[in-house]
Amino acid sequence: MEALAQPVIKVAAICGSLRKGSYNRGLIRSAVQLVKESAVTGIEIEYIDITPLPLLNTDLEVNGTYPPAVEAFRQKIRDADCYLFASPEYNYSVSGPLKNAIDWASRPSNVWADKAAAIVSAGGGFGGGRSQYHLRQIGVFLDLHFINKPEFFLNAFQPPAKFDSEGNLIDLPSKERLIEVLLSLKAFTLRLQGK
């Protein structure tokens, strides 16, 4: 008998920083590369750019429809099996652009609901940890199910260098930890889907 093909998990990856050289965006680029290199199999990652989203304004909702950029974003979130957030820490919380994206996708009907998610972050000091805890609180209302472990907080400024001059992750131990996050996200997604 032939073995059944394992389903491919669709991961929507969202970065809370709009800066191209952002270390958090570098974490997503690294995750995409690790999947391409088959360090993690059975998943595909699509980076979802939140730059085109207008600021949330319910006046933009007309007869149950949203602006085209919002509709396209909501569809990508709806189509994904799970989510990978790269969340920078701004003033002990998530960034404004990330909160804006979350809020647009939570408008009726909430397209985040009942799916798995993971968070990674890079920054100074605590490595973005406070933003992660705040994002987990937001996820409670959204009915998002975050993996508990492993947690991934990366102090980007503590030697040795973790990123190159273009914001690409070069630290091998951090790449190994990122693989562990992706494997945990995959396993939890399959569990939630009953597979």
pTM higher than the cut 0.85: yes
Residue 38's domain comprises: 9-192
pLDDT above 70: residue 1: no
Q: What is the model's pLDDT at position 2?
A: 53
Residue 3 covered by a domain:
no
Question: Domains in the chain: how many in total?
Answer: 1
CB within 8 Å of 16: residues ≥ 6 apart: 24, 50, 85, 86, 87, 88, 94, 95, 97, 98, 131
The predicted model gives 21-25 an average pLDDT of: 95
pLDDT at 102: 98
Over residues 57-116, the pLDDT tens digits come to 999 999 989 999 999 999 999 999 999 999 999 999 999 999 999 999 999 999 999 999
Distance CA 183, CA 195 (A): 15
Q: Is residue 1 included in any domain, yes or no?
A: no
What's the mean pLDDT in 35-55?
96
Q: What pLDDT, in 10s, does the model give residues 113-137?
A: 999 999 999 998 888 899 999 999 9
Q: How many Cβ atoms are within 10 Å of 55's Cβ, its own excluded?
A: 10
Interval 175-187 mean pLDDT: 97
Q: Is the dihedral of CA 46, 49, 55, 59 positive or negative?
A: negative
| Cβ–Cβ under 8 Å, residues 189 and 9 | yes
- Longest Cα–Cα distance of the chain, Å, equals 57
pLDDT reported for residue 125: 86
pLDDT for the residue numbered 32: 97
Output the domain CATH number for residue 26.
3.40.50.360
